[in-house]
Amino acid sequence: MQDFVPFELVPGDCDRGLVLLADHAMNAVPPAYGKLGLPDTAFSRHIAYDIGVEGLTRALAARLGVPAVLSCFSRLLIDPNRGEDDPTLIMKISDGAVIPANHPITETEWKHRIESYHRPYHNAVADTIDAVAAATGKAPLVLSVHSFTPAWKGQARPWHATVLWDSDGRVAHRFLDLLSAPGDIVVGDNEPYDGALKGDTMYRHCMIKGIPHALLEVRQDLIGDEAGIAAWADRLYPIFAALNAEEALHRYEVHPSRTGPYTD
């Protein structure tokens, strides 16, 4: 871990009550792993990271003046948006690409990646959320930024942006309303994925603690360059600000997860 920092803290004002997260912000791999046995081209694909998310998250954090936590390692190494006991935590194959360095993998190496990369990232997320809670005396609002491919297995995805959530819909419902209000984009509700994933970042840091939250997905072709990132930062900034201004979205309120009972 000494030659590779697994997360980046984007500084911001904790008093503002908002935390931004980017689980799949970057496509880097620690030097000791080379390219995981993959060609360079694999790291420009969605299998390595969420295209456009780093730039969008940085732009929003800067405009809102709030802290953000970015993962610095590729999900091909280990996926920060999975629980430590999730069998897909370290993928053997992703969208047709076999990852040689991940199969076979020893139990020692599996644990090393958790302890050196996955866990430090989540510790940083927890510390940032705690710092915002301490600064405001209220529940922070946590918004996680992701992106999705324009098509999957030959099927076009019509949504421009979607909101993912489990059973705590306080933020999601308002987020969906605000995204849909202009009427110029197609907005998805728990598309193209279900927001209920036991052990993922939102479950671990927000659902089980009653912290208001939502996960935003933006289609990758819309934020694949600087112009697209700027346009979506313009679109999302007032929405994020409006959500954060709602007092009702700064209260602790535990909702049973659709994935089943909470576990430590």
What's the pLDDT at 104? 94
What's the pLDDT at 1? 40
In the 8-state DSSP scheme, what is residue 7? E
Domain 7-250 has CATH 3.40.630.40: yes
Query: How far apart are alpha carbons 102 and 88 in whole angstroms?
Result: 11
- Specify the pTM: 0.97
What's the pLDDT at 2? 56
Q: Could you give the C-alpha distances from 70 to 8, 100, 127, 137, in angstroms and in order?
A: 5, 26, 13, 24
What's the pLDDT at 64? 98
Q: 79 near 26, Cβ under 8 Å? A: no
Q: Give pLDDT tens digits along the chain (264 positions).
A: 457 999 999 999 999 999 999 999 999 999 999 999 999 999 999 999 999 999 999 999 999 999 999 999 999 999 999 999 999 999 999 988 899 999 999 999 999 999 999 999 999 999 999 999 999 999 999 999 999 999 998 899 999 999 999 999 999 999 999 999 999 999 999 999 999 999 999 999 999 999 999 999 999 999 999 999 999 999 999 999 999 999 999 999 999 999 998 865
- C-alpha closest to that of 147 among 207, 203, 61, 229: 229
Domain parsing of the chain, residue ranges:
7-250
Q: 148 near 189, Cβ under 8 Å? A: no
